Amino acid sequence: MSITANIQEVVAGLPPGVRLVAISKYQPAEAVREAYDAGQRVFGESRAQELKDKQPQLPPDIEWHFVGTLQKNKIKYIIPFVTLIHSIDSFSLLAEVDKYARKEGRTVDCLLQIHIAREETKFGFAFGECREMLEEGTWKSLANIRIRGLMGMATFTDSQEQVADEFRSLKGFFEEIKKEYFPDETGFSELSMGMSDDYRLAVGEGSTLVRVGSRIFGERRY
């Protein structure tokens, strides 16, 4: 199937209120352009250098999200234009993003990445670490970032039950955090969960942002 047909199929299957972030990492600008021409406007990348190089080649009304591990020395590449960073996994990273956003005169929306998978290798705050950071409170003084919600990645497994359980635990944590720390803010509203193989399960468990790459673009090209 073509990129256009894939986009249409994924979008048609999403309920109202759930947005598709088309993950275009390792895809050339022409592939992004094809998805854009099919009507897609929200794209995600996982390497700062790649995003920095791709962004100027593509239409300015694209909403760029960053979903990968963000090295501190590369934050400056993406701050001038990035819309949402999904992958904040420490207070110090949040503070660095705030610092560069201030220099740029911007406020940058961020999600806290939570470790929900049973694998050791996935990044993110443990539930307890995240609570501690929010409880400690210094984040409230960071004027150039806005915490808009949470992100998580499920374990890579054939067990749909396990994946659904992990997404459900993140949704539960999201509700707890919202009630405790963002009760008056409608802005804490995004739950980024679900990829090509599990986005339907994620939507069933309350995702608002699905991050779908290979199902749209096919295998990564380099």
Ligand X SMILES: *Cc1c(COP(=O)(O)O)cnc(C)c1O
Q: Write out the residues near ligand X by the rule CB under 6 A.
A: 23, 25, 46, 67-68, 195-197, 211-215
Residue nearest to ligand X (CB): 213
**Least distance (Å) between residue 194 CB and ligand X:** 8
**Least distance (Å) between residue 64 CB and ligand X:** 14
**Least distance (Å) between residue 140 CB and ligand X:** 27
21 vs 94 by CB, closer to ligand X: 21
In sequence order, what are the residues at sequence separation of 6 or more whose Cβ sits closer than 8 angstroms to the Cβ of residue 47? Answer: 25, 68
142 vs 210 by CB, closer to ligand X: 210
Instruction: Decide if 65 contacts 55 (C-beta within 8 A).
Output: no
171 vs 215 by CB, closer to ligand X: 215
**Least distance (Å) between residue 143 CB and ligand X:** 27
Q: Give the alpha-carbon dihedral of 52, 82, 36, 60, to 10 degrees.
A: -80
The DSSP secondary structure of 71-123, one letter per residue, reads -GGGHHHHTTT--EEEEE-SHHHHHHHHHHHHHHT--EEEEEEEE-SSSSS--
67 vs 147 by CB, closer to ligand X: 67
29 vs 181 by CB, closer to ligand X: 29
**Least distance (Å) between residue 116 CB and ligand X:** 13
Among 59, 58, 64, CA closest to 86: 64
Instruction: Decide if 87 contacts 151 (C-beta within 8 A).
Output: yes
In sequence order, what are the residues at sequence separation of 6 or more whose Cβ sits closer than 8 angstroms to the Cβ of residue 185? Answer: none
